[in-house]
Amino acid sequence: MPTFAVTIVLIVSGLSLLADILLAADVNITYVSGTCKKTVPTFNMSTYYNQDSILVTDMNGVDVSSSSWDLGKDSAFTGYNVMYCGLTPTSYGGYLPTAVLQLIQQKGFNVTQSCNMAGLLAYPAFHVFILIDRTESVVISDADANTVAAFYT
């Protein structure tokens, strides 16, 4: 299993760049800067991602309701662990909907719901960390903040 840590962020403008990269067929990522770590040379993106769905440019008449149109393949991320902490409600009036966490699980991730960052959050025990915090006041401890910072270094 490749070793890397990722924060889930949806960047629509980045999808076209990703599509350009994937046009080169089966791409092996050997190094990406930022929070991603170097992977083994045998890492193949098509194992994890529905590349055909990324490359479609004409969506007229296309039924995109099946999970084969999701970026990530179902069960592709089995063995990867997500820690989810919903500290404060989001702008739509609640915490991250249960359905979203179920979709993450459908992709194969094990999801742990906890805000005990200082006690639990560490790489490689967790590969992804999702934090919902929409308050203007401080709601996490210094120990939690330091743990989150260490997770990404």
pTM above 0.75, yes or no: no
pLDDT band with cut points at 50, 70 and 90 for residue 92: low
Q: What is the pLDDT of residue 81?
A: 95
Q: What's the rounded Cα separation, in Å, for the pair 141 and 94?
A: 22
Contact of 41 with 28, CB cutoff 8 Å: yes
HSE (CB half, 13 Å, CA atoms) of 124? 8
Q: What's the rounded Cα separation, in Å, for the pair 80 and 110?
A: 6
Q: For residue 126, which of 116, 112, 136, 139 has the smallest C-alpha distance?
A: 112
Strand partners, 85: 131
76 phi and psi angles, rounded to 5 deg: -70, -25
Strand partners, 113: 84
Q: What's the rounded Cα separation, in Å, for the pair 68 and 116?
A: 34
Q: What's the rounded Cα separation, in Å, for the pair 80 and 104?
A: 11
Q: What is the pLDDT of residue 139?
A: 75
Across the range 128-135, mean pLDDT stands at: 80
Residues 135-146: tens digit of each pLDDT: 677 678 899 999
